Amino acid sequence: MRQAELHNSISSRARALEASKIRAIAELGMHNPDVIPLWFGESAWKTCPVIVDAAIASLKAGNHMYQPNNGAMKLRHAICTYSKNLLGSHINPAQVTVTPSGMQGLILTAEFLVTPGDRVVALEPSWPNIIGAFKMTGAEIVSVAITSKKGRWELDLGELLAALTKDTKVVVINSPNNPTGWTMSVKEQRVVLEHCRRYGIWIVADDVYTRLYRNGRHAPSFLSIAEPEDLLISVNSFSKCWSMTGWRLGWIVAPAAFEAKLGQLTEFNTSCTAGFVQAAGIAALQDGEDEITSLLEKIKIGYELTAAQLSTFSRVEFIEPDGAFYCFFRVDGLTDSFDAARKILKKTKVGLAPGVAFGPQGEGYLRLCYAQPANVLKEAFKRLEPFLSK
């Protein structure tokens, strides 16, 4: 078969896929141990022993069999207790589906809600996989911009509400936002919730960075203000605040009426999440609070160092993030961030994410994940100096 025929023989959905531009840069250097990897959203530290030990004990006890579609009941209960203690939300296990990662939670949600052609409103800049997941299911994406105004990232709420027309199916809100760190206030969440109730619009809240918030124990969450029957799906993950990116474990919270349907959808996707990984999740929720405190202290140091370093370059402009663990900074004169990230990687062996990966608005920016020890960040900036000062 010729190349073109081969290409046409696969689904239109697969054909239409565009590569993640973060991943495209990372693939160029991921296997080189000399590279300082600041491209992905992941911390440099190991998962804490209490979590690792729980997984090992579970595996040794023979927990290697298929699991219930919606997740092990013990973990679903632990998620409810965690949410109640943290957010004051009264969810019950029927609302919780465990997923093999936050990403899987997003695609499951998109498959659950979207019929091809549905209008889905998303905020940009955005982690590309959010938009990618909804596009894959045939959504028509309408973007509303988070913009930099007077040294703050801001969302024009009026603009968002205007975009949330009666024929909108879903609005996806990732707060704290990857890459900017912008965080939606409770007041804004109330307005959006009321509006969506009026028009019957689903809210998909990507709450993956809720704990990585710089102004309190957690960022404002729709789960704190919603009723159990509201059209709300919260997507969450163990990856970030418990340093568990490679474990692939997450969860979603949805109205209880859809427990069986989400179970069916899981059956034909992944069928279930590994049982010993779920055991690790229970340990994280029940005994991992110190781990989060420790990570927050470490990323505070990482942020301060990064901010101090970035401030020394007159070409660089950045806004203090409210949450997550990224600096999304603009470099004066930078017109092709993908090419720049590629050159930076080649010449300095520092891996950064190109701003354009987060949408056209991100062109001219680079994203750096500062969840790294001080010596690593110092070395990274030493290498980046010639690029950023030019």
Ligand X SMILES: Cc1ncc(COP(=O)(O)O)c(C=O)c1O
Query: Residues interacting with ligand X, by CB under 6 A?
Result: 41, 101-103, 127, 174, 178, 206, 208, 237, 239, 245, 250
Question: Rounded to whole angstroms, how far apart are CA atoms 328 and 346?
Answer: 21
What sign has the CA pseudo-torsion 231, 237, 240, 246?
negative
Whether 286 contacts 85, CB under 8 Å: no
CA dist list (Å): 55 to 43, 62, 102, 141, 298: 20, 11, 19, 39, 25
Provide the minimum distance between the beta carbon of 120 and ligand X in the complex, in angstroms, as a whole number.
15
- To 10 degrees, the CA torsion angle through 337, 240, 97, 231? -60
Residue 341 and residue 10 in contact, taking contact as beta carbons nearer than 8 Å? no
Integer CA distances (angstroms), 287 to 24, 106, 258, in order: 36, 26, 30
For residue 284, the minimal CB distance to ligand X (Å) is 13
Residue 124 structure tokens: 């940009």
Query: 29 or 132: whose CB is closer to ligand X?
Result: 132
Judged by beta carbon, residue 204 or residue 344, the one nearer ligand X is 204
Residue nearest to ligand X as judged by C-beta position: 102
Distance of CA 74 to the CA centre of its chain: 25
Q: Contact 98/68 with Cβ under 8 angstroms?
A: no
Nearer to ligand X, 93 or 281 (CB): 281
Q: Least CB distance from residue 99 to ligand X, whole Å? A: 8
Q: Which two tokens stand for residue 297?
A: 């202290």
Minimum distance of ligand X from residue 38's CB (angstroms): 13
Q: Are strands 168-174 and 202-206 parallel, antiparallel or unpaired?
A: parallel
E strand segments, the chain: 36-37, 96-99, 119-124, 140-149, 152-155, 168-174, 202-206, 232-237, 250-253, 316-318, 326-331, 350-351, 353-354, 365-369
- CB–CB of 212/41 below 8 Å? no
- Give me the DSSP letters along 324-345: SSEEEEEETT---HHHHHHHHH
